[in-house]
Amino acid sequence: MLDLSTRTAFNDEHAMFRDTVRHVFDAALIPNLEKFEEDGIVSRDFWRACGEAGMLCPNVDEKYGGLGLDFGYNAVIDEELAYSGSSAGITLQNDITAAYIEVYGSEEQKLKYLPGMISGEIISAIAMTEPGAGSDLQGIRTTARKDGNHYVINGSKTYITNGQLSDLIIVVAKTDPDLGAKGTSLILVDADTPGFSRGRNLDKIGQHSADTSEMFFEDVRVPITNCLGAEGQGFIYLMSQLPQERLSIAVSCQASAQRAFDEAVSFTKDRKAFGKTVFEFQNTKFTLADLKSQLQVGWAHLDWAIARHIRGELTTAEASAAKQWHSDMQNRIVDVALQLHGGAGYMNEYMIARLWRDARVTRIFGGTNEIMKEVVSRSL
């Protein structure tokens, strides 16, 4: 269990909400972790359980069925989900897609989608990455051309989180390919629209229970009113929402690193070698002490970043630095924690193996860490 005794980003209301989150996860997530991993997808029952508990899109306005809470409540969910060892895609809906719709959507779009996203009846995805365009979103090739009062969408996407489950997809497409970034728009596509199809549930190194898919758009016709916000403003919208997306990743990385450390402490105190526990060796204690120091710094920085974001002050450069640092730190800690498990760490029956596998992608998604350094360098 996460130690909250030194945290500064949360108040008593956040603590009460965390108790609810832990209760729901204990009932609906933890007993099903292995099944979700084996199935390569989490169940819709889990989504609905989160919805019933107010754990989906908690910061959406009450007029749409949300709780109107601050991002701290999202962070509570992110931390507890990551600490549990799960890669379920609820964080994408909570921290990314719901914000796009609430901030940029028309009243009609908000009323159509947000209540279902809050209840868990509607699962969302955002389709950005393409086979030839990853961190460089200006390179996307999917088009949405006007035909009367409709857009006709053609193209393909890949590595899309919630790809198999999604009922609603926010598609990043070029409405005017000649204008580059200024010709990029966000288009809402319902999954039952003719011409839309999903590829396979991709076989990943880790995060097995996070359904991640290819998507194909072949003459997909949607009304012009499905444009999210203003046409041609998609790239600006994407850039504007980056601080929350990258902070969300940093939060999850920190909690996952803490779980890896806790697993290593527990294992080394139980495992014996040469007549004493592995923990009693000086190398083990010094190694764990170093990890503890990194985690202490990480939690302090994370609370600073969460507080700044709640106040609306966290910059894109600061969030990018947080994403880069916390994901690098996570990967260092899970690797060392696995080493302290010895051969057992390489066995999938141990939690540390899953934490190690799942961590590798955090230095890639949300923009690679090399891109994060580029973003930070532009602020110098």
Phi and psi at 12, nearest 5°, equal -65, -35
Report yes or no: 124 and 186 within 8 Å, Cβ to Cβ.
Answer: no
Task: Provide the residue type at 74 as one letter.
Answer: N
Catalytic: which of 245, 263, 280, 318? 245
Task: Output the six-digit token pair for 114.
Answer: 């947000």
- Report the DSSP pairing between strands 150-161 and 168-174: unpaired
Task: Provide the residue type at 70 as one letter.
Answer: D
Spatial distance between the Cα atoms of 266 and 277, rounded to a whole number of angstroms: 11
Q: Is the dihedral of CA 91, 92, 94, 99 positive or negative?
A: positive
Residue 231 catalytic? no
Report yes or no: 345 and 338 within 8 Å, Cβ to Cβ.
Answer: yes
Phi and psi at 272, nearest 5°, equal -110, 145
Task: Output the six-digit token pair for 369.
Answer: 């860490």
Catalytic residues: 245
